[in-house]
Copies of this chain bind each other. A is one copy, B any other.
C-alpha cells in the first residue's frame, strides 16, 4: 500500500497525493494512506467510515471549527503523474486533482499533523465521492450515521477559490423539458407531429434568457440557466414523437429550491417540465463572529462561490461555512488543471496563522 509522510511540505504533499490516483469510487488506496498517517498522531481522535476519515482534537476549547476536503477527483485524462513547470513565469504543479482539490486537502493534512494545540478545537474531514451523485457522497453517508461529527461553530471547505474566501454557493437544479408528438414515416410527415420542431421555442427561450445577478449579504451571485443535453429521434426516416431538453439552473442562495423550481416552470410555461435533481444554495454566512475573525486573519476579500459545494450541507445544518483553497476553480475538471505553488503556500500560511492563534 501507499504511505504518506506528513513531515514534507504541503507542496510536496500535493504532488504525493495527486500521484495516488483516486477517481470517485477508487479512493481506497489514498484513504488507507491518509488513515495510516493520521492514526499515528497522538493529538487526534480518528474515526473512519468507508473511505471517509474524520480526525478531531479534543482540547475543550470554547469553539469548534470543521475543516473538510474531498479526496476523489473526476476521471484522469492523460494528466497524471503530476509535472512541475512554469506558466508565464509562475511555478505550478500540473495534473488531475491539483486544483479540485488535492492541494487544499494536502494543506489540511499538513496542518492536522502539526497543529497539536490550535486555538479552537478542530474536526478534520477527508471524504470520498464528492464528484458524483450526492447520494454517494461520503458526507451524505456520515451525516446519516454520525450527525454529531458535523457540530461546529464554523466550517471551511478547501475547495479551490484562488486563495480567496468564497462565501456560500449557488443552488443547483436539473430539469427535463419534454415536447411530444406523433411518430410517422418521414416520407409522409403530415401524418405525424414532429416533437423536435416543437422544441424550437424551448431553445429560443434559453437563448434569450438573461440570468440575474443577485446581491446576497454583500456578495453578488451570478445565475445561469442552460441546456446541458438534448436528445430526440427514433430513426433516420421516422418523425420523432419525443424531444428532451435537460436544463441546469444555477440559482442565487436567496432563492429556495421550491422557488427555483417555480422559476424554471415559469420559464417553460406551457411545456412538460420534470425536475430530476436539486440542491439549495448556501448564504455566505460571513456575519458569524468566527467568520469575521477568519476573514481578518487571512486578510482576504470575500467573493461569492458560483458552483454548488458541500458548504451548502453545513449551511443547512446551521453551521456557517466558506470555501478557502488554492487553485483556480475555472481549471477544475479541465485537462490542463494546475495549481500555482505560491497559492498552496499562501493558503497554508492563512489557515495556520488563524488556527495557531497568538
Contact = CB atoms under 8 A, between A and B. Distances in A.
Contacts of A198: 207
Interface residues of A, number: 61
A355 to B, nearest CB: 28
A333 interface: yes
A224 interface: yes
A200 B189 contact: no
Contacts of A200: 200, 203-204, 206-207
A134 to B, nearest CB: 10
Contacts of A246: 233, 236
B184 A250 contact: no
A199 interface: yes
Interface string A236-249: 11111001011010
As for how many copies of this chain the complex holds, the number is 2
A9 interface: no
Contact of A333 (B190, B196, B237, B308): B237
A329 interface: yes
B226 A233 contact: no
B333 A183 contact: yes
A332 B237 CA distance: 10
A191 interface: yes
Main secondary structure of the interface of A (DSSP, over half): mixed
B230 A333 contact: no
Interface in A188-212: 188-191, 194, 196-200, 203-204, 206-207, 211
A131 to B, nearest CB: 7
A246 B194 CA distance: 13
Interface in A78-130: 100
Contacts of A186: 224, 226, 228, 248, 250
B229 A233 contact: yes
Interface string A328-343: 0110111100000000
A1 interface: no
Interface string A54-84: 0000000000000000000011000000000
Given A185-B332, A186-B248, 10 more contacts: A132-B235, A183-B333, A185-B329, A185-B333, A185-B334, A194-B207, A194-B227, A229-B240, A230-B231, A236-B248
Interface of A: 74-75, 100, 131-133, 170, 172, 174, 183-191, 194, 196-200, 203-204, 206-207, 211, 222, 224, 226-240, 243, 245-246, 248, 250, 277, 306-308, 329-330, 332-335
The 3 residue pairs across chains A and B that have the minimum distance between CB atoms: A229-B233, A187-B307, A200-B203
